[in-house]
Structure 1
Amino acid sequence: MRTSVLKHISNPNEFKRQLLDWAQQFREIIYLDSNNYPQKYSSYDAVLAVDAFTSIKTDYHNAFEDLKQYQQQTKDWLFGHLSYDLKNDIEKLESSNFDGLHFPDLFFFQPKKLFFLKGNQLEISYLMMCDDELEEDFENIKQYRKLKVKIQKSKVNIEQRISKEKYIEKINTMLSHIYRGDIYEANFCMEFYAENVIIDSNQTFEKLNAISEPPFAVFFKNNQHFLLSASPERYIKKEDSKIISQPIKGTSKRFEENNLDEQSKTELEQNPKERSENIMIVDLVRNDLSHTATKSSVKVEELCGIYTFKQVHQMISTIISEIDNTTSPVEILKTTFPMGSMTGAPKISAMQIIEELEETKRGLYSGAIGYFTPIGDFDFNVVIRSILYNAQEKYISFSVGSAITALSEPEKEYEECLLKARAMHEVLLS
């Protein structure tokens, strides 16, 4: 049984900082921050889940069935992640590329302590604990001041896994697959990494979040594994019988000058290559959602909408469907995973070609992180614009990618990757 109370918060932004600082004492942390980004489908401004009561950690073998059983048995709030390589549980695929991070393929936990912030109202929900502990924690958080512990941070020397020349060569190989008709589109990614590095993960997340202010920011900690995410993209959300997926395909630069910024936005909206990328993935998502949708319920609510973030403009579509009440929440994830915006079309062929050409195992990058509610609703982001850190191995990684279609120009795709990498570069080198 959970004990829940409501509290009034006079300064939500300051409270969010105190909440995340206070959370650092726990082995398991998931902190979600919408950064007050205006969006139609938003349940909370921020959520914090800490301190596992129970958990599940597994590789991809039978992972979705294990998650389904865990979710049905607990019937409680569950927070965790799905790695891209869970594709191997769904299809006859494999992941044999280099992995410097060694995150589990799937990890979820049932938190003892939960905090939900919406406007000035905070809901605190504790599992099997006395009221005194809840009230004591709340008072401690309100007065919390981060101790000035000096972390011996090391110099970060960021290296690029694939050179520009090699990148262009690989894109040309992918284009040859497209011209032959093997695929229509594929998302090709490359890794930036640093070895023998010690960072202050909380401070790094705060910097990344501040310069990006995305709607799906995440600070994740599982002992020695960290994800610091400034993701602008929702993978999928369930609200009662409604399913919402919002793939991003299409990116353009921001400019300080208003006229140039508006021009960049307009060019993105009218760009035939970017629109074709987006529409192909919309078709793929429509097909994925149809596996669990009630008859004729899959609809495109918004096609190729343009949204502005601090770093870039993005093209986002919204696809919705309805399900009946007998459909398992995990089945919805399994039949739509990995998200089409990070694979391509046709999905299986794209994933096979991606595996051949990429040089790094994606792991949690281009996977998803989020939560289940006790009644089986859920909300998951897409893990992009993110720094992954294995503190034990002292290994940092961030990957970026772009969608390759018949209209792609390798040089421009490379430049798009560098644009997406800018925020992670900036915070790690500052």
Structure 2
Amino acid sequence: MRTSIYKIIEEPIALKQQLVGWGQQFREITFLDSNSFSDEYSNFDCVLAVDAFTSIKTDYHNAFEDLKQYQQTAKDWLFGYLAYDLKNDVEHLESNKFDGLDFPDLFFFQPKKIFLLKGNQLEIQYLKMCDDEIEEDFESIINFAKQDTITSNTIAVQQRISKQSYLDKVVKLLEHIHQGDVYEANFCMEFFAQNAKIDPLEKFLKLNEISQAPFTVFFKNNKQFLLSASPERYLKKEKEILISQPIKGTSKRFADPVEDEISKNNLEQDPKERAENIMITDLVRNDLSHTAQKATVEVKELCGIYSFLQVHQMISTITSKMDPKYAAVDALRTTFPMGSMTGAPKYAAMRIIEKLEETKRGLYSGAVGYFTPDGDFDFNVVIRGILYNEANEYVSFSVGSAITSLSVPEKEYEECLLKAKAMLEVLQQ
């Protein structure tokens, strides 16, 4: 049983930093921040979950079935992630690339302590604990003062694939497209640093400050960290409704309002970007149909343009009504990995990009989120994020773009560098 109390918060924005700072004392942390982004599907402005009561950690073998059993047995809040390489559990695929991070393929935990902020109301839910402990912790949170930061060393970020190698690989992908093997493939490359010592909280706060994305995450599992300023929702379940919001299409922001508006309008009208988005929208429609009631898959918005601090993005929204014979985890298993990070057709795209990419994706292009006690869930897409293994002092982030028949390799490379800008800026400060 959970004990719940409610607090009225005078300064919700300030409370967010106090929550994530106070949470650093725990071995397991999931902090989710919408950054006040207006979204009709959002339930909370901010969530903090800490301190595992139970947990599940596994590689990809039988991972979705193990997660289903864990979720149906716990019937409680669960927070965690699905790494990209769970693709190997749903398809006959493998991942034998270099992995400097060494994160498990799947990790979820049942938190002892949860904080749910909406507007100026904070709901605090504790598992098997007394009201006095809640009050003591709340006092510690509102009086929290930032601790001394860990001294970061100079980080020499390297690019895993050279520019020329990237261009050559995109040309190979275009050959596959022209041969009809795939229509679209999301090709990614890693930036990394070895012997790196960073303060994860400090880097997260800087990344969030310059990005302010709606699906921002600070995640910690002991020595493993994710700091993500993701703008993209992968999949949400609310009762019988599933909502997916793939992003395909990116353009630069400009300080000059006229230039910025031109960039936004160019994105909206760009035939290549629209083709990318529509192909993935169609893929998501097909994915959702696997668990949907008949004739309930619907495109709510096609190629909508949304502006974030760093970039303009093209986003579509697709919904369905789940057939009651399927469990919550079935909706994840039949749609994972998300089409925006793979390509179309999905299986063929994943096979090809596995051959061309130099590193194992791991948590990058996976998903972080939560299950509620009644089996609803909400998951983001892990992009625009820094991954850090404190134990082996390895820092990594990856970026990618969708390659279609209209792609110009040089422009795709420039798009990757645009997406890398925020993470580079944060790491090299």
Task: Please give the range of the TM-score, normalised by the shorter of the 2 chains.
Answer: over 0.9
Residue aligning to 2:294: 295
1:124 aligns with 2:124: yes
Q: Cα offset for 1:86?
A: 0.1
Q: Cα offset for 1:327?
A: 1.8
1:160 aligns with 2:150: no
Aligned-pair Cα RMSD in Å: 0.6
Q: Cα offset for 1:326?
A: 3.2
The 4+ residue runs of structure 1 with deviation greater than 2 A are: none
Pairing 1:12-411 to 2, within 5 Å after superposition: 12-148=12-148, 150-411=149-410
Q: Deviations over 1:85-142 (max 9, x none)?
A: 0000000000011100000000000000000000000000000011110111011111
Q: Cα offset for 1:324?
A: 3.0
Instruction: Give the SS at the match of 2:353.
Output: helix
What amino acid is the match of 2:86? L
Residue aligning to 1:3: 3
What amino acid is the match of 1:214? A
Instruction: Give the SS at the match of 2:264.
Output: helix
Alpha-carbon separation, structure 2, partners of 1:48 and 1:223: 16
What amino acid is the match of 2:25? Q
Instruction: Give the SS at the match of 1:169.
Output: helix
What amino acid is the match of 1:383? V
Alpha-carbon separation, structure 1, partners of 2:323 and 2:138: 39
Identity of aligned residues (%): 69
What amino acid is the match of 1:114? I
Alpha-carbon separation, structure 2, partners of 1:232 and 1:254: 15
Alpha-carbon separation, structure 1, partners of 2:241 and 2:5: 28
What amino acid is the match of 2:11? N
What amino acid is the match of 2:39? Q
- Where structure 1 has 5 or more consecutive residues not aligned to the other structure, the ranges are none
Alpha-carbon separation, structure 1, partners of 2:15 and 2:258: 37
Q: Cα offset for 1:147?
A: 2.4
Alpha-carbon separation, structure 2, partners of 1:40 and 1:407: 34
Instruction: Give the SS at the match of 1:24.
Output: helix
How many residue pairs match? The answer is: 429
Alpha-carbon separation, structure 2, partners of 1:31 and 1:15: 12
Q: What is the TM-score normalised by the length of structure 2? A: 1.00
Q: Cα offset for 1:38?
A: 1.2
Q: Cα offset for 1:151?
A: 1.8
Alpha-carbon separation, structure 1, partners of 2:298 and 2:236: 15
Q: Deviations over 1:282-303 (max 9, x none)?
A: 0000000000000000000000
Alpha-carbon separation, structure 2, partners of 1:428 and 1:55: 31
Instruction: Give the SS at the match of 1:57.
Output: strand
Instruction: Give the SS at the match of 1:111.
Output: strand
Instruction: Give the SS at the match of 1:76.
Output: coil
Alpha-carbon separation, structure 1, partners of 2:296 and 2:147: 53
Q: Deviations over 1:366-395 (max 9, x none)?
A: 000000000000000000000000000100
Alpha-carbon separation, structure 2, partners of 1:146 and 1:162: 38
Alpha-carbon separation, structure 2, partners of 1:40 and 1:313: 19
Alpha-carbon separation, structure 1, partners of 2:293 and 2:328: 14
Q: Deviations over 1:145-200 (max 9, x none)?
A: 1222x523110000000000000000000000000000000000000000001000
What amino acid is the match of 1:291? H
Alpha-carbon separation, structure 2, partners of 1:345 and 1:313: 23
Q: Cα offset for 1:40?
A: 1.6
Residue aligning to 2:416: 417
Q: What is the TM-score normalised by the length of structure 1? A: 0.99
Alpha-carbon separation, structure 2, partners of 1:159 and 1:23: 31
Q: Deviations over 1:261-299 (max 9, x none)?
A: 000000000000000000000000000000000000000
Alpha-carbon separation, structure 1, partners of 2:291 and 2:82: 19
Instruction: Give the SS at the match of 2:248.
Output: strand
What amino acid is the match of 1:44? F
Alpha-carbon separation, structure 2, partners of 1:219 and 1:318: 25
Q: Cα offset for 1:412?
A: 0.1
What amino acid is the match of 2:310? Q
Alpha-carbon separation, structure 2, partners of 1:326 and 1:55: 26
Q: Deviations over 1:332-375 (max 9, x none)?
A: 00000000000000000000000000001000000000000000
Instruction: Give the SS at the match of 1:229.
Output: strand
